[in-house]
């Protein structure tokens, strides 16, 4: 009673084909296949880059992260000031 037979799946397929049409379903399947191929290509590319990439020195990593940390902290410090200015401009 809880299992679907082949006839149930054929009826479902028929309803889907009637609702969406054969062109849309085949187009969706083609787009899905392209997406899967693209994903596999990117994953293979990432695997290849990981093995060939040279190890960076820790000093360079720290120097690169310092400006990013300062930039991330700056908007948080100026947000209340900007909000107060906007409220003052709106009230005036």
Residue 48 CA: distances (Å) to CA of 37, 41, 52, 53, 89: 17, 11, 7, 9, 55
Of the chain, the percentage scoring pLDDT greater than 70 comes to 53
Q: Are residues 47 and 76 in the same domain?
A: no
Q: Are residues 28 and 69 in the same domain?
A: no
What total of structural domains would you count in the chain? Answer: 2
Q: Are residues 47 and 91 in the same domain?
A: no
Which residues of the chain, if any, have pLDDT below 50? none
Q: Are residues 63 and 89 in the same domain?
A: yes
* Residue 19 backbone phi and psi in degrees, to 5: -75, -45
Cut 0.75: pTM above it: no
What per-residue confidence (pLDDT) applies to 23?
Answer: 81
Q: Are residues 76 and 47 in the same domain?
A: no
């Amino acid at each position: 009673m809880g299992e679907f037979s082949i006839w149930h799946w054929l009826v479902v397929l028929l309803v889907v084909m009637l609702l969406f049409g054969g062109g849309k379903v085949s187009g969706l399947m083609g787009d899905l296949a392209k997406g899967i191929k693209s994903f596999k290509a990117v994953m293979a590319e990432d695997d290849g880059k990981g093995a060939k990439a040279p190890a960076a020195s820790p000093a360079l990593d720290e120097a690169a992260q310092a400006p990013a940390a300062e930039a991330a902290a700056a908007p948080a410090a100026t947000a209340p000031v900007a909000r107060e200015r906007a409220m003052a401009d709106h009230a005036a």
